Amino acid sequence: MVAQFTDRHLGKRVVDHNGVEVGTVDDVRNGDLYVKVGPDADSETLSELHWDGTVNKEVHRLPDQYVSDITDTTVRITI
C-alpha cells in the first residue's frame, strides 16, 4: 500500500495481520509513520520488521510496504 501519511494518523493502533497490537503511531515525518512499540508486541513480529537486535529503540519507522489497511482507529500491517 502506498499512502501519504499525515498527522491524522497520530495515535492510531498498529496491529499485525492477526490483530495483535504492535504499538501506536507516535509521529509522522516526511510522510512516514513512526511507531512506538507497545509492551505486548510480539518479538517475532518485531524481528520481521527489523525492529530488534543490538539497537533496540522505542520508536521505529514503519516502511510503507508493510501497511495493508488503514481504518479510523488502526493501521494494519502485513506481518
C-alpha dist (Å) from residue 20 to 15, 31, 71: 5, 24, 15
| Cα radius of gyration rounded to whole Å, the chain | 11
Question: Does residue 33 register a pLDDT over 80?
Answer: yes
Residue 16 lies in a domain: yes
Residue 51 lies in a domain: yes
CB atoms within 10 A of CB 51: 21
CA angle 40, 9, 1 (to 5 degrees): 90
**Residue range(s) defining the domain that contains residue 68:** 7-77
Closest of 51, 47, 21, 26 to residue 36, by C-alpha: 26
How many separate domains does the chain show?
A: 1
Residue 2 lies in a domain: no
Question: Does residue 57 register a pLDDT over 90?
Answer: no
How does the average pLDDT of the chain come out, rounded?
89
Question: Does residue 7 register a pLDDT over 80?
Answer: yes
Residue 1 lies in a domain: no
- Model confidence at 3, in pLDDT bands (50, 70, 90)? low
Query: How much is the pTM?
Result: 0.88
Q: What is the CATH number of the domain that holds 58?
A: 2.30.30.240
pLDDT at 55: 55
Question: Does residue 1 register a pLDDT over 50?
Answer: no
